Amino acid sequence: MHSKILILDFGSQVTQLIARRVRDAGVFSEVHPYDVSDEFIKNYGAAGIILSGGPSSVTEGDTPRAPAAVYEAGVPIFGICYGMQTMAEQLGGKVENGLVREFGYAEVRARGHTALFREINDFVTPEGHGMLKVWMSHGDKVNEMPPGFKLMASTDNCPIAAMADEERRFYAVQFHPEVTHTLQGEAILGRFVHEICGCKSDWNMPDYISEAVASIRAQVGDDEVILGLSGGVDSSVAAALIHRAIGDKLTCVFVDHGLLRLDEGKMVMEMFANNLGVKVIHVDATAQFMGHLAGVSDPEAKRKIIGREFVEVFQVESGKLSNAKWLAQGTIYPDVIESAGKGKKGSHTIKSHHNVGGLPDTLNLKLLEPLRELFKDEVRKLGVALGLPHSMVYRHPFPGPGLGVRILGEVKKEFADLLRRADAIFIEELRSTYVDPHAEKPQSWYDATSQAFAVFLPVKSVGVMGDGRTYEYVVALRAVQTQDFMTAHWAHLPHELLGKVSNRIINEVRGINRVVYDISGKPPATIEWE
């Protein structure tokens, strides 16, 4: 059994980052709502508990508090921002409603030589004080420490910026160590979990495989499992993992709706059926999808049709596998956390995975979700450890409705064929052009962007090729950089690269005579055009 860290979520936007940082330190951690029961805390077996930040104010009566059992569990506790304030208030200190909000960069002076900060600093002042460069985001602040606590750090604005009761191993900071702007955040969280909680670094993906394989075997026994393989990272890694566990008892269904990227079907079959020996049913449903999409140009209507037909095809194919008792899905941990009712008691509900989304209950299958505990970067590491190629596991995301949302207006097979080829040229050039070719480890523009693709515009414009006039379609290129896909910047691709892509598309894809580059951020634009 791994040692594990329990994170109680008070609703901060960045709680997930705490779990990721702890896992980066090689220690398993999970996020649960702040109002789990005392019983839950007692039975959880945490080696340490972290209280997250949150938007509320402890100075108001009916705001979140940690369960009493947290402070009686006998394990180290680390309060962050709101987590510090609730700890202070619950243990007999005082919190005041700050008149001035403190937001952004700050320098805090470490004090008291506590185990949490010892020898961790960004610089030392001429007077010999260790200083930390941190990120603050708070209105309230602790103005009186609870009995037994001593000062651990301060700023001019916030005299009690961190505090500790080292006897009980309770630590609290007003700043956010989980964000990268806090330069020593990783060192501080690492210090807490390793040295203060005594956790070993025993969480890594190569070792996790044998554990996951054993648990899949225990869960499904001799039953058969079906999985909707989309070619995306999550379903691919889930397929490889389940296949490792139960071999031929897994059957994958790969639905080609005619709106996939160039050679996607070939690549998936090559990888899974030929290389890994996974049973894959390849369904070419292009005609069915195109038939239903004919004459439809409204984006939402198109999405609905694609979703509905996907379920239809999947249902027919899975109906043929009469022994299957389980439906496997590539649900990952952020899906699980996001769908857990914020601040509500009780167990997590599951959001249906959007790529094979909305598969109906009438399938009468039990759900197998072997990636439920993993973050995206862990899923990728697991994929590599399972032998999937790096280029597949680190691919940009691709939406479930595929090229259906990248062909504006009515979808036609002819448009999809043109778009596929233009898109493939764009991606090929991004992969083979480096941001800085002289860097020690050159990074391709593909890896330097979060998502890049071509969009088909069903308008014709005039061009000239050789001695002739052309009257053909337009393709827009889109490339964005983003952390979370909620907001995004357009990528500043070099003009030479854009020029080369444009030349190649116009020369190699007959039917397209103009290429434009999308320079809109999100917001106000979205990443996809539909």
Q: Rule CB under 6 A: which residues touch ligand XMP?
A: 354-355, 397, 399-401, 451, 485, 522, 526-528
Q: Toward ligand XMP, which CB reaches closer, 212 or 480?
A: 480
How near is the Cβ of 421 to ligand XMP at its closest, in Å?
A: 20
Is 247 part of any known ligand binding site? no
How near is the Cβ of 306 to ligand XMP at its closest, in Å?
A: 8
Q: Which of 175, 187, 171 has the alpha carbon at shortest distance from 48?
A: 171
Q: Residue 205 and residue 211: Cα distance in Å, rounded?
A: 10
DSSP three-state, residue 471 = strand
Instruction: Give the type of residue at 244.
Output: R
Q: Toward ligand XMP, which CB reaches closer, 312 or 528?
A: 528
Q: Residue 168 and residue 190: Cα distance in Å, rounded?
A: 19
How near is the Cβ of 370 to ligand XMP at its closest, in Å?
A: 19
Is 92 part of any known ligand binding site? no
Is 235 part of any known ligand binding site? yes
Quick check: is 243 catalytic?
no
| Active-site annotation holder among 89, 158, 178, 257 | 178
Q: Which of 125, 18, 159, 154 has the alpha carbon at shortest distance from 80?
A: 18
Q: Residue 492 and residue 33: Cα distance in Å, rounded?
A: 40
- CA distances (Å), 221 to each of 20, 224, 328, 412, in order? 32, 9, 14, 45
Could you count the other beta carbons within 10 Å of the beta carbon of residue 402?
Answer: 23
DSSP letters for 132-161: EEEEEEES-EEEEPPTT-EEEEE-SS-S-S
- Is the bond preceding 177 in cis, omega lying within 30 degrees of 0? no
Is 56 part of any known ligand binding site? no
- CA distances (Å), 353 to each of 171, 194, 216, 243, in order? 38, 35, 19, 20
Q: Toward ligand XMP, which CB reaches closer, 171 or 529?
A: 529
How near is the Cβ of 262 to ligand XMP at its closest, in Å?
A: 17
Is 236 part of any known ligand binding site? yes
How near is the Cβ of 46 to ligand XMP at its closest, in Å?
A: 34
Q: Toward ligand XMP, which CB reaches closer, 117 or 456?
A: 456
Instruction: Give the type of residue at 259.
Output: L
Q: Toward ligand XMP, which CB reaches closer, 223 or 264?
A: 264
Q: Residue 18 and residue 82: Cα distance in Å, rounded?
A: 14
Quick check: is 176 catalytic?
yes
Quick check: is 89 catalytic?
no
So which residues are the catalytic ones?
81, 176, 178
Residue numbers belonging to the annotated binding site: 230-236
Residue numbers belonging to the annotated binding site for ATP: 230-236
